[in-house]
Chains A and B, each alone.
Chain A
Amino acid sequence: MVLGFGLAGRDTAILSASTEIRFLVKCDSWLGALMVATALSSLTDLANHLERQLNNPASYRAIVTRVLLRTGVNMREPKPTQNQDSAMVSKVAGTLAEMGYRFQS
């Protein structure tokens, strides 16, 4: 059974009955991805979901830095004019997707 669709790339894996714990984690991520699919309308939303998914301040900083270097957008402190700009949100979501963090906006 493959649950790759909609998950962050780092979480994509072929699951089996012998990986019950991992399965639960994947399901949680998968359901989480579905739940956020309609909620991500701002950079702040994206940042919050990324932070929750990574659950590690250093990892979060690294990804935010990569995004800023690639897009010029600071997800943690977006300018008011950028925060709900759909083009900007899509751009950042696309950059995150390139790194395997797939959130729908």
Chain B
Amino acid sequence: MDQGLLTREGLRTAFSAHTEAADAGRELLEQLGPVDAAAVLFFASPAIAGAQIAATLIDRFPGVPVIGCTSAGEFTERRTATTGVSAVALPRGIVRRGAAALARLDNGVEQGITAAIAEVEKQLQMSLREADPARYVGLVLIDGLHGSEEQVNEVLGNAAPLFSFVGGSAGDDLKFVKTEVYSGTAVSDHGAAVLVLDVAVPFTIVKTCSFEPTGKSFTITEADVPNRIVWKLDGRPAAEAYAEAVGSPVGALDSSVFMAHPLGLMIDDQPWIRSPQQVVDGGGMKFYCQILPGMEVDLMRGTDLIGDTRDALRDAVADLGGAASGAVVFNCILRRLEIDAKDLGDEFVAALGGIPCAGFHTYGESWLGHINQTLTAVLFGR
């Protein structure tokens, strides 16, 4: 991106490949530099003690909300990697103030999220429902292994339906054992970190994926919604109908087929992706996202991940008047696996266009609901 498109004071971003939290924290602070931050986020490999990273940032930015989570890879506008940590400080010139809380979901999603919203509203002394959605935006980091994302997004949406919460699900470098979210000194492996920002500049939400409809569509005729299993498509065993549509035997359905051919719920000609995870006993298919009976979904095929990402960010910058001060970005792990498989890491970073940003590779993305194989972001103008 042309340097002229950037503001003088962009978001401050940092990356460390150190696996010792003390070393990583020190390097992050060096790169963040002398910034008057209104909020700070970090995204850490599970190989790093995330709580210690949080403590380092809290010590450096007293009184400032700090949230973070474990990841399945981390990136900034300069590099993407695994087993490291990325961070971003939001300067007060861009964000007036922020408020954060940790929702503990062990006793129910509704109870946990409602309590977190109440805590954020108390800090801000305002109702999120009444907040101007053009001035305030939320970020949400949800633990990635309890399958609570749909309900978290619904409860957030019920509380403040016009308000955007953008985010991602915490990862653990594909081990699928434990993910963590952090808010201040609080940690949870079954929770969500919620951050609300009072933004001083224009901003926009980015949602991009790299798929187009094949022309084949299905109606979900039987599903186990809470477990994200689709049993029947068009009245037929889901795996059988899907395999036929992609031209593959059921026995040959694997992650490479699923990644290339997810299902898309089309809204205004834009796909909201639901990615298959595996074939389950009984002929059903488990997804990374809920799909409801009666939904009509399209079989998708891949396009140009790098080009589409670059174009989406470029369009978003144009929407902001041609100037971006930075972004917080959430990129699906399945997109990272495609990037890895095609050795496109450098191209992915280049597609970020030099916009100061930090983000992580997620176990799911959030905006208005739960999505798969998508990049979501909050892009700040100037």
Contacts and interface: CB of A to CB of B under 8 A. Distances in A.
Contact of B292 (A9, A71, A98): A71
B272 interface: yes
Nearest to A59: B162
A17 interface: no
Contacts of B161: 10, 62-63, 66, 99-101
A52 interface: no
B268 A9 contact: no
A87 to B, nearest CB: 10
Interface string A35-68: 0000000000000000000100011011111101
Given A10-B129, A61-B268, A72 B292 contact: yes
B162 A68 contact: no
Given A9-B129, A100-B158, A62 B292 contact: no
B199 to A, nearest CB: 16
Nearest to A97: B158
B121 interface: no
B267 interface: yes
Interface in B118-136: 129-130, 133
* Residue of A58, A69, A71, A99 with most partner-chain B CB within 10 A: A69
B162 A63 contact: yes
B202 to A, nearest CB: 13
B158 A98 contact: yes
B257 interface: no
A74 interface: yes
B265 A69 contact: yes
A39 B296 CA distance: 28
Interface in B221-275: 265, 267-268, 272
Contacts of A70: 154, 292, 369
A69 B272 CA distance: 9
Contact of A99 (B130, B157, B220, B294): B157
A59 B368 contact: no
B295 interface: yes
B131 to A, nearest CB: 11
A68 B158 contact: no
A68 B129 contact: no
Contacts of A9: 129
A63 B21 CA distance: 42
Contacts of A64: 267
Contacts of B368: 62, 65-66, 69
Interface string A84-105: 0000000000000011110000
Contacts of A71: 292, 294
B369 A72 contact: no
* Residue of B162, B268, B272, B369 with most partner-chain A CB within 10 A: B162
Interface string B278-297: 00000000000000111110
Nearest to A61: B268
A100 B267 contact: no
A37 to B, nearest CB: 21
30 contacts: A9-B129, A10-B130, A59-B133, A59-B162, A62-B162, A64-B267, A65-B267, A65-B368, A65-B369, A66-B161, A66-B368, A68-B265, A68-B267, A69-B265, A69-B272, A69-B368, A69-B370, A70-B154, A70-B369, A72-B220, A72-B292, A72-B294, A74-B267, A98-B154, A98-B158, A99-B157, A99-B161, A100-B158, A100-B161, A101-B161
